Chains A and B, each alone.
Chain A
Amino acid sequence: MSFLGYRRQNGSVGARNYIGIISTVGCANDVTWWVSQQVKGSTLFIHGQGCAQTQPDLDIVTRTLISLGWNPNLAGVLVVSLGCESVSADKIAEGIAESGKPVEKIVIQKVGGVTAAVAQGSLLAQAMAVEASKIEREEFPDSELVLGVKCGASDTTSGLLSNPATGVACDLVIDNGGTCIFGETTEFMGAEHILTRRAATPQVANRIMDIVARMERRATAMGFDMRGGQPTTGNIAGGLTTIEEKSLGAIAKGGTKPIKEVYEYGERPQGRGLFIVDTPGREPEFLTALGAAGAQVIIFTTGLGAPQGFPFVPVIKVTGNPITYERLPEHLDVFVELTEEAGAGIAQAGKALYQEALAVASGKQTRAETIGYGNFPNIFTIGPVI
């Protein structure tokens, strides 16, 4: 099978063809927003990080912004900097430029302030958008597909239906030579012994145990039962009692194939196959991690009906909850129905989801894209604001 994508200079393939307007720091967000409003064919990434943080967090922010710039759904990038922030806008712009795509940079404090930055930034981005519009979609084999998978606003139907169906789609991606990325380390707790059996090497198994232990230490360090935060109040209302129950349902969406490597937040997986990115499962941070990992398309399962998309990666929303599907049609793309032969039904639904991923990679709009929801992502950091 194949899909229609955009060829990039470094050999990667885009499912979308945007100019990315990327903010380096919370204080550059407004300019980033205004520039994106002035440029048809652009998308934006704004966030609350990038300054007054310790070095480990500044490193995470820097590598995440560089990796987002590398995402093949972006044809070119404008980096928007305030000028006095802790992260280096030069380093970020240079890091993105190594992908081979055109990169421009605007520094608000250097060009004479906000209004001048909006004007100059818009002109730079408009020129890139015109150039990008000349790139045409070409046919690529489905081995070029890079799929991210995630669950959010889960209920018990997520573990019964939508996550297993997504797991089937994930397996199909791997069988066809493509790449699939999952994560949500918090939601490995209680299920890590199942994941480690699928680790490609003992080192990968150890890494899985390590990232779960690290995430659990961060949670327990606060001195509270993490319930209410994980599982969330909504998860509990949806029937999920403990993090163990949530995890056992959540890991189904990563399918059954060998896990080749575990990456840190903001890193870009190398090669093809099934990978884990270490990140908590909260949407604004995890969708960013998938975008940074190079996902062209994301499958997002939900029981209660999360509306989120991501600014430049189409997010296919899937539910197994018939009440949610009826109540929130604009939040959802695909319904996985419970059939008498549950196993066969899930296999069928997984195949349909794979086809949907290829269709969306080829240009079909998702609901989240159509309603334009998902403009406020974030970057996961581990230390204090100082």
Chain B
Amino acid sequence: MKQKAVVLNFRDNVATSLANLKVGDTLELEVGGEPRTIKLTTDIPFGHKFSLSRIEPNSPVIKYGEVIGIATAIIKPGDYVHIHNVVSTRGRGDLSGGVK
């Protein structure tokens, strides 16, 4: 069977879809050598991400084994992970106020 999603590093708390996945789809994934079953809570378009575990607000979202941003809400396993619940910590002129 063709792979439907990929986990890139054992530290990751998100997976990347390799197909247009549907709400209720159940995926059998391997995270750091351990099997994990994730049931999707929403549709996940090709190339987008879903959560592998519960991520608390202000906690790091990890892909490639590295921090790709910070959660802004509670993210549950199988939830869609994208700009609605993750922010970047870089290039944030909105926070630093910019230069007048």
Point out residues on A near B: beta carbons under 8 Å. 155-157, 159-160, 186, 189-191, 194, 216, 219-227, 230, 236, 238-239, 241-245, 248-249, 303, 321, 323, 338, 340, 342
A338 touches B98 (CB 8 A): no
Partner of B68, one of A194, A226, A227, A248: A248
Task: Give the segment of B21-29, B42-50, B51-59 that binds chain A.
Answer: B42-50
B68 touches A160 (CB 8 A): no
A220 touches B91 (CB 8 A): yes
Given A239-B49, A241-B81, A340-B3, A216 contacting B68 (CB threshold 8 A): no
B92 touches A225 (CB 8 A): yes
B90 touches A221 (CB 8 A): no
Could you say which residues of chain A place their CB within 8 Å of the CB of B69?
241-242, 244-245
Could you say which residues of chain B place their CB within 8 Å of the CB of A157?
47
B63 touches A248 (CB 8 A): yes
CA distance A84 to B67 in the complex (A): 51
Interface pairs A-B: 10 shortest CB-CB: A223-B98, A226-B91, A220-B93, A239-B47, A242-B88, A156-B47, A245-B68, A221-B99, A239-B48, A242-B69
The reply to whether the CB of B40 lies closer than 8 angstroms to some CB of chain A is no
A225 touches B94 (CB 8 A): yes
> Closest approach, in angstroms, between the C-beta of A238 and any C-beta of chain B?
6
Could you say which residues of chain A place their CB within 8 Å of the CB of B68?
190, 241-242, 244-245, 248
A241 touches B90 (CB 8 A): no
Contact with A along B79-95 (1 / 0, CB 8 A): 00111001111111111
A244 touches B82 (CB 8 A): no
Could you say which residues of chain B place their CB within 8 Å of the CB of A222?
93, 98
CA distance A321 to B69 in the complex (A): 24
- Other A-B contacts than A186-B91, A219-B93, A244-B66, 4 sampled, CB-CB below 8 A, are A223-B98, A239-B45, A242-B88, A243-B88
Given A241-B68, A242-B88, A224 contacting B47 (CB threshold 8 A): no
Could you say which residues of chain B place their CB within 8 Å of the CB of A220?
91-93, 96, 98
> Closest approach, in angstroms, between the C-beta of A223 and any C-beta of chain B?
2
> Closest approach, in angstroms, between the C-beta of A287 and any C-beta of chain B?
23
A223 touches B86 (CB 8 A): no
Given A156-B16, A220-B98, A236-B83, A245 contacting B63 (CB threshold 8 A): yes
Could you say which residues of chain B place their CB within 8 Å of the CB of A323?
46
CA distance A222 to B95 in the complex (A): 11
CA distance A160 to B15 in the complex (A): 12
A219 touches B99 (CB 8 A): no
> Closest approach, in angstroms, between the C-beta of A43 and any C-beta of chain B?
36
> Closest approach, in angstroms, between the C-beta of B44 and any C-beta of chain A?
9
A189 touches B90 (CB 8 A): yes
